[in-house]
Every structure is written in structure tokens, then in C-alpha cells.
Amino acid sequence: MRNAFFKALEESAGGNEDIFILTADLGFKLFDDIKRSCPGRFYDVGIAEANMIGIAAGLSLCGKDVYCYSIAPFLVMRAYEQIRIDAAYHNSNIKLVGVGGGFTYGLEGFTHFGLEDLSLMRSLPNMTVVVPADAFEARCLAIACSGHRGPMYIRLGRAGDPAVHRSSPDFRIGKAIVMSEGKGVAIFATGSMVHTAMEAVRLLKTKGIDATLVNVHTLKPLDIEAIKWAALDHDVIFSLEEHSVNGGLGTAIAEVISEMGYSGFFRRIGIEDAPRRPVGDAFHLRERHGLTAEGVSDAVLKALEEAYL
């Protein structure tokens, strides 16, 4: 997914003298082509995320279109105030590309997890927040965001993420994608969890439950219309994200449906709290937190029992 994004970016940046790409000393081999095709417009600023965002804002104020790259928590949290003021408040043309949402970096440990990034970025003014679900979406996003004005946070998986599309989808920033339509139960998922949800939907089908799946790749601006449609048509709604249950997709959906007076059953599936001694790869950690097809399917079945007791 990450490579697909940067390959597409390289294709557009090569011929566009206004595109600058900065990294805070991460992305081994990722930028080799970009270095060649964008001489003088790629900078490794060093391990200095705050400075990177400030530089990006200065470039943006002088008419440049800037991409900043690092691992999600370092990018978002070390430089949060620079992002808040220099990027968001100034409505700068800065795309913050964070790799490794959720447990992607598994065995590297808690410091490398992106569990709060969506919540933090979603609350900033002017900020667009996008989480592609696979390499197809990442590529579409790289193309779509080149014409986008204002700051954007992009959360990418690393590599080897399973595809959720067979070909390039109709991908528009701010427009959710209905992956499958069922009855009664709707699951809203984002990023890595879209694929997990697709598998969970298949499992649920074997149990006689036909669930709708909505891929919410853009958390801000949220596709309120899609959420309202699902809320009106479904009695049971789940949100699913590889992120804290506080402040991310689940919270965003809760805000919409509670304000519209939704009277059905709603539950957030995500990471309840910081894991203790989280030693394990991404698959292991997702499993421990119920973020697998079986885990999600079980959670849905359990919740349905509760809802209809």
C-alpha cells in the first residue's frame, strides 16, 4: 500500500516543480525513485519531525505542495503542535503521510503503534483525514490528493496488505464506499479493517446474517449521508477500526447517529485501551484485541444476542 502511494506520487511529482517531499529520516529505499525524478525537491530533514512540519509550512506559504513522511505516531504526536498551528490553522498545503496505523509495527512495540492518530487528526481545523484500505485505494488517493488544497493526514499500511478491490475503485475523498449490501446489520470499517470486515461478513453469512459493509476511508470530512442511509436502513450498527475506540471512526459515527436520534443498537469495535506488554506481530496483536474476522464475527453475534434478548 505504501509503495503504491509513493509510486503514484512519484509519477505526478516528477513533472510538477511545486511538489516537495520531506521525510524525517524514515522510508528505507522508499524514496530512491523520487530522489532521482525530483532533484532538489526531496529532503531528508533528519530525525526532527517538528522542524519538518515547520519547513513544510514555510514551503507551502511560498506556493509549494508538500508531503511529509514518517511512522504515524512520530509524525502525528512529536510534531502535533506544529501540525495544529503551522499546518492546520494556516490551512497549508501539506500532506502528512503516516505509515503504520494500529499494530502494523507489531514486534517493534508500543512506541511504534498508531492507536490515537485518527482521533488527534480528526479534531484539527481544516484537516482532511483519509485511511485507504488497500493498494488500489492508496494509488487513487495519491492521484486525488495532488489537486487537494489544505492539510491532509493519510494513514497507510506498510506492505503486503490484502486487497479489498479487484481493480481501481470509484474513490472520492469524503465519499464512503458500500462494499456489500445486506439487511439489518451494518458494519462501518476503515483502513486495514475493511478486509477483516469483508471476511467477517462472509463468516456471518454462514450463520445466516447478511451484513452491509461500508468502507469509510475518509474520516474527515465524514460521509454523513452514507451513515444516515445505513442508520435508517439497519437496526444494528458496528464500527470497526484498528485504533482506539475513543475518538476515531466509532466516535465519529456515534456523533452522527446520536444526533439524528438513532434508536437501534450501536457498538464500537476497536482497541479498548493501551495493551500491556504487547509482544507480538501485527496479526498476533490484532487477534488479541479481537480484530480478526472471527473476532469481529463473534462480537457481532454476541451483540445481536444482547440486542434481541
d(CA 180, CA 279): 35
Query: What is the dihedral sign for C-alpha 206, 207, 210, 216?
Result: negative
Q: Which is nearer to other proteins, 40 or 208 (CB)?
A: 40
Minimum gap (Å) between residue 75 Cβ and other proteins = 15
Minimum gap (Å) between residue 19 Cβ and other proteins = 11
Q: Which is nearer to other proteins, 1 or 53 (CB)?
A: 53
54-83 residues in contact with other proteins (CB under 8 A) are: 54-64, 81-82
86-105 residues in contact with other proteins (CB under 8 A) are: 86, 89-90
Q: Is 55 left (phi over 0), alpha (psi -120 to 50) or beta?
A: alpha
Contact 296, 197 (CB under 8 A): yes
Q: Which is nearer to other proteins, 3 or 126 (CB)?
A: 126
Q: Which is nearer to other proteins, 80 or 136 (CB)?
A: 80
Minimum gap (Å) between residue 94 Cβ and other proteins = 10
22-61 residues in contact with other proteins (CB under 8 A) are: 40-41, 43, 45-46, 48, 50-51, 53-61
Minimum gap (Å) between residue 33 Cβ and other proteins = 20
Q: Which is nearer to other proteins, 54 or 184 (CB)?
A: 54
Q: Which is nearer to other proteins, 86 or 241 (CB)?
A: 86
Indicate whether 288 belongs to the interface with other proteins (CB under 8 A).
no
**Count of residues near other proteins by CB under 8 A:** 27
Q: Which is nearer to other proteins, 65 or 161 (CB)?
A: 65
Distances (CA, A) of 69 to 3, 27, 120, 167, 200: 13, 8, 17, 26, 32
Q: Which is nearer to other proteins, 19 or 240 (CB)?
A: 19
Cβ burial of 94 (10 Å; 0-12, 13-18, 19+) is buried
Q: Which residues bind other proteins (CB under 8 A)?
A: 20, 40-41, 43, 45-46, 48, 50-51, 53-64, 81-82, 85-86, 89-90
